[in-house]
Structure 1
Amino acid sequence: MIKNSILTLCVALCSLTASAQFYVSFSGGYAFGAGEKEFGTNSVLGPTGITNLGTFEGSYGEGVQTQLRGGYFFNEKWGVEVGVGYIYGTDQQFQQVAGILDMKTRGRAFGASLSGIYNITKNVYVRAGVLTKIAGKTEAVVDLTLPNTLTGAGDLKADYTTDFRGEFPLGFIGAAGYKFPISDNLSLFAEVEYMAINVTRDISELGDFSATINGTTSIPASVLAQQLTTGPLAATPLSDLALLLQDELQWGENGLPSPEAPYSSIGFNFGITYSFK
């Protein structure tokens, strides 16, 4: 009885090992924003102040993405894989005041995933798992033009970039795809992939900065911050830009909000897989 059980177990293990295989894959594609969140406002400056014309929405998950994945199939149906990827996000219009402010934001992030994979047929598969961001940043690029009527010190022109780092997030990743075998070891694939993840803001740092008055006199970030928080600009949404002029700022403390940056997307990947048979 015991010998029969051992023999049965050995046969099962041999069968499992015979169909098991490691594989690696590389893919590239484009993702469109999903689960978009509200950004800033689209406004115009008039005689009575700034008038809100609407709001902008978007997701930093929109853009070109690449992935490198490695996995192991336990049998012909079930497998598990880990992956790393990079998203080069497209510019998102975040806030605008016609003729005065043009503020765009974009994602530059590395992610990692752990997923289970199931072969529905020899060609069709699905996978699902957890996703996180492991490095990268969200960039805010500000182009600001203030006339003398607002500054009282001359026409002011400023361009600067602020980088935002986020806390460790967790999200969902899922995909459905089709494989095109081209040899015993190589196959091409195409898939539709969905990512659902948000990144909570943690720290922001001032990057490139340039500002002048009347096109000649350079001013530091502290002077621009003062211009934005005193005088006629103090009571306008433009005063919030002063927060982005800090060398480093911790969000979620001292009354500062810590909003979530949307990185969800749905996109298409095309790639190649090599199986170690």
Structure 2
Amino acid sequence: MKKNLLLLGMMVCSLATFAQTDEPQKQESWYFKLGGSYFMQTAATEFPTVGGNLPLSKVYQGGKLVSEESVTGSFGEGFRTGITAGYRFNARLGVEMGINYYNSNDKTMAQTVSDVPYIPASGSNGPVYNFKSVGQITAWDLSPSLVLFLGEHKGFEPYTKVGVLVPIHGDLEITTDAVAPVGVNPSTGAPIMANVHSVDQVKPNPTVGFMAALGTSYKLGQHISVYGELEYRNFTVHGKTKETTEFTVNGTDALASRNTSQIHTNYRDRLDVNSNNDLTNPNGIDTSRPKDELSSYVGISGLGLTLGLKYSL
């Protein structure tokens, strides 16, 4: 997809040389744009493991697994608002720098549905219970780009641009609601079930993405125009740390009952006997330190339509 967009951009750029214009060549100038966008996801991938749960959607009936499927998707679907400053070197070439705020749609990352609250799952490491984990990404990013104007005709001025996306702040927030065992009844040995609610915030490592757009502006007055852009963007977010910010049991705050390894996580590219993880460390986990888990990636690929206003100095 990236290669196709780059080839399209090069073709459009070559045509720009022959484009006709109704007006004299424009001199150097500044302009500013304010717009809003809606993006649709373009590439669905399998979500990472969430709180030890694989990205699966499972359904149990009468204690038996009746369906199971992978949960896939992208956080590329959602709304974006932004402001952009642009500078034209001449009638054909310019540069832009945008700052944008993006809010993705909620995405189910893993879930289990059961018709009974507790099923001792034969051959598994624990009970089967109802839960659902939903993720949402919010982020600020910078978007420097190169703009090629194709000439103005009857108020319309089409253009194309290519650039990069540089996230500067944001996180992936994962909300999990479950009916889960929180202990054992000492008299009967039966599990004690409770409604558990938790919120985890995943902070990302630095990353860079790609964007390309085709657009046009339409002049309303000497300085004011409206514009529209069709934009494709593609980048992945690599988790750095995770922190549990909310944990309630039957509606009561129980975050203080969690130890450090249950609240904090450091993502690693590799786990071994020295990692603070009970699956690989023969000495078990040190609950006074953050837990080590394998790195996870989520995609933010989308195709969006932006509409807004442009003011030229």
TM-score, normalised to structure 2's length? Answer: 0.70
Query: Which residue identity lines up with residue 96 of structure 2 in the other structure?
Result: E
Counterpart CA distance in 2 for 1:221 and 1:44 is 33
Q: Report the counterpart of residue 273 of structure 1 in structure 2.
A: 310
Structure 1 residue 155 displacement after superposition: 2.0
Percentage of identical aligned residues = 24
Query: Which residue identity lines up with residue 119 of structure 1 in the other structure?
Result: F
Between Structure 1 and Structure 2, how many residues are aligned? 239
Query: Which residue identity lines up with residue 42 of structure 1 in the other structure?
Result: S
5+ residue gaps, structure 2: 1-24, 48-54, 115-129, 272-292
- Structure 1 residue 82 corresponds to structure 2 residue 97: yes
Q: Report the counterpart of residue 68 of structure 1 in structure 2.
A: 83
Deviates more, 1:78-87 or 1:252-261: 252-261
Counterpart CA distance in 2 for 1:134 and 1:81 is 17
Counterpart of 2:201 in 1: which secondary structure? strand
Q: Report the counterpart of residue 260 of structure 1 in structure 2.
A: 297
Out of 19, 23, 27, the position equivalent to 2:35 is 27
Deviations 1:200-245 (A, max 9, x none): 1001111122113xx8x7655756x9xxxxxxxxxxxxxxxxx9x8
Counterpart CA distance in 2 for 1:128 and 1:50 is 48
Please report the RMSD computed on the Cα atoms of aligned residues, expressed in angstroms: 2.7
Write out aligned runs for 1:162-241 (5 A): 162-212=200-250, 219-220=254-255
Distance 1:165 1:31, change over 3 A: same
Write out aligned runs for 1:38-57 (5 A): 38-39=46-47, 40-45=55-60, 53-57=68-72
- The answer to whether the 8 Å contact 1:41/1:52 transfers is no
- The answer to whether the 8 Å contact 1:211/1:220 transfers is no
Higher helix share: 1
Distance 1:211 1:140, change over 3 A: same
Structure 1 residue 184 displacement after superposition: 1.2
Q: Report the counterpart of residue 111 of structure 2 in structure 1.
A: 96
Q: Report the counterpart of residue 265 of structure 2 in structure 1.
A: 249
TM-score, normalised to structure 1's length? Answer: 0.78
Counterpart of 2:161 in 1: which secondary structure? strand
Structure 1 residue 153 displacement after superposition: 3.7
Counterpart of 1:246 in 2: which secondary structure? helix
- The answer to whether the 8 Å contact 1:61/1:107 transfers is no
